[in-house]
Amino acid sequence: MLLKSINPANGELIREYPESQWEEIDNVIRDVNLAYKSWKKTALHKRIDYVRQLARLLELKKEALTFLITIEMGKPILEARAEIDKCIWLCNYYCDNIDEFLKPKTIDTEASESYTSIQPIGVILAIMPWNFPFWQVFRCAIPTILAGNTMVLKHASNVPGCSIALEDLFNEADFPADIFRAVLSSNRRVERMIANKKIAAITLTGSTKAGQAVAQTAGKYIKKCVLELGGSDPYLVLDDANINEAVAACIKGRLLNTGQSCIGAKRFIISEGIYDEFEAKFVAEMRSATMGDPFNEFNQLGPLARHNIREDLLSQVNKSASQGAKILCGGDIDYDIDGFYFPATVLSEVKSGMPAYNQELFGPVASLIKVKNEQEAIQIANDTSFGLGAAVFTSDIEKGKYIAEHELEAGCCFVNDFVKSDPRLPFGGIKESGYGRELSVYGIHEFVNIKSVYIK
């Protein structure tokens, strides 16, 4: 089987890559496990030096990596460049803080001495998505590797070029051999990879369906997994919100990465007192969003990453419209132009039972929902099987803080800003958006043995 790298801006084949065969995959896992035996004993300051060198290499190769992201999955070039910058930030953040994160913690007991010691656990299998092909990998790989583990990457099959480039980066940064390896594989090989006795744990970023399959297999073999899955993130815009600032943040939250983000804003729940003004300004901004060649820095929207993603999104929009949703702008595809483009789209009168309400819309489509009051807004926000991110916009900061902390059912809740990942903050969801956390100190603790040591 061949993995095809296709340029989503024109639908043309970039290159074909042979899929890794079973013997090759088994050998990679074996070699990464052998590397773990020595890597876990490598002094922390030496691990930090390798990651510092990796960050410097990212800076040196930024433009080439930016080009690769844009041509292989269609990300607008300014956002692709920002993705590499974010990876550099993450590397430096962990290098600056890892010593504190891994320090033993003394615990008072009847013993003469008792404490917790953080130890690595082995080879981590990373099953990663295409939408942030470098950031998603770095945010799980860097803390995991600094903690003393090693990693095997099974990247999305439509970004094989990025997968190879990631392994090359670790090699060029002079990491010891086999600390980080990539295999080119379709999803059909994942179950057997998880079953391999040398795989200690699994981290997956992907769809809820993929999470169910991985969790089932990991459970069968009693292996821990971290799952960061889909989202239908609600943004509450209350009566006292600054409408211009709310619209600006909501547009950013919806159009980032051409709307292809698990934590992207999806459902906009607006108080009826300001609904008409919000709708008018929001639709105007969406209509004016420039779409086209992702290498043109003036374009906000590039193509969707694959043909089937575009067709699935169109089906969700059309079905919602057939059930009563009103299309205020966008909503159709120009098949006369090359590439997998989908225009910025706004749906109003969205209700429960419609795909635009209940499902994740992976593309630049926004669902507007009018509510009578704050209580109804919160009820609708939580009326979802997902729980990744949420936001609330209000001029009353204390009220916004209370709603974010106590009322909204999600792993990441923001006040007066769009939801985004940050190396300093834990990232992850609840309900069908998955479990476990990445980033900050909590991301470090997912794939370690927090060992209790007791001396009488």
Distance CA 388, CA 386 (A): 6
The Cβ-side half-sphere exposure at 297, using a 13 Å CA radius, reads 4
Lookup: tokens for 454: 């007791």
Q: Are 54 and 172 in contact (CB under 8 A)?
A: no
Distance CA 72, CA 51 (A): 26
- Which residue in 79, 83, 228, 407 is the catalytic one? 228
Helix (H) or strand (E) holding 111: none
pTM of the predicted model over 0.75 = yes
Match 């990942």 to its residue by tokens. 421
Looking at residue 252, its pLDDT comes to 98
Lookup: tokens for 272: 């009826």
Looking at residue 174, its pLDDT comes to 97
Could you tell me which residues come within 8 angstroms of residue 232 by beta carbon, excluding any fewer than 6 positions away?
Answer: 266, 267, 357, 358, 359, 360, 361, 384, 385, 386
Give me the sign of the Cα torsion angle 216, 217, 222, 227.
negative
Residues facing residue 82 across a β-bridge: none
Could you count the other beta carbons within 10 Å of the beta carbon of residue 244?
11
Distance CA 61, CA 156 (A): 22
- Which residue in 91, 140, 162, 262 is the catalytic one? 262
Looking at residue 307, its pLDDT comes to 97
Residues facing residue 435 across a β-bridge: 227
Burial class (CB in 10 A: 0-12, 13-18, 19+), 315: exposed
Distance CA 255, CA 264 (A): 8
Beta strand pairing call for 150-154 and 123-127: parallel
Q: Are 215 and 434 in contact (CB under 8 A)?
A: no
285 as an active site residue: the answer is no
Longest dimension (CA), the chain: 77
Looking at residue 63, its pLDDT comes to 98
Looking at residue 257, its pLDDT comes to 98
Q: Which of 161, 184, 164 is nearest to 5 (CA)?
A: 161
Helix (H, G, I), strand (E, B) or coil at 132: coil
Strand (E) positions, 174-240? Answer: 180-183, 199-205, 224-228, 233-237
Give me the sign of the Cα torsion angle 279, 282, 288, 293.
negative
Lookup: tokens for 198: 């040398």
Q: Are 398 and 293 in contact (CB under 8 A)?
A: no
The torsion of the CA quartet 45, 47, 49, 54, rounded to 10 degrees, works out to -160
262 as an active site residue: the answer is yes
Give the amino acid at 261: S
Q: Are 7 and 14 in contact (CB under 8 A)?
A: yes
Could you tell me which residues come within 8 angstroms of residue 394 by beta carbon, excluding any fewer than 6 positions away?
Answer: 238, 240, 241, 400, 403, 415, 416
Q: What domains, with CATH codes, occur in the chain?
A: 2-229+431-455 (3.40.605.10), 233-415 (3.40.309.10)
Give the amino acid at 295: F
Looking at residue 1, its pLDDT comes to 83
Lookup: tokens for 102: 């891994």
Q: Which of 372, 132, 395 is nearest to 275 (CA)?
A: 372
Q: Which of 390, 393, 380 is nearest to 239 (CA)?
A: 393
Output Rg (C-alpha) for the chain, integer angstroms: 23
End-to-end CA distance of the chain: give it in Å, rounded: 59
Helix (H) or strand (E) holding 90: helix 77-101
Beta strand pairing call for 12-18 and 2-7: antiparallel
* Positions of the chain with pLDDT under 50: none
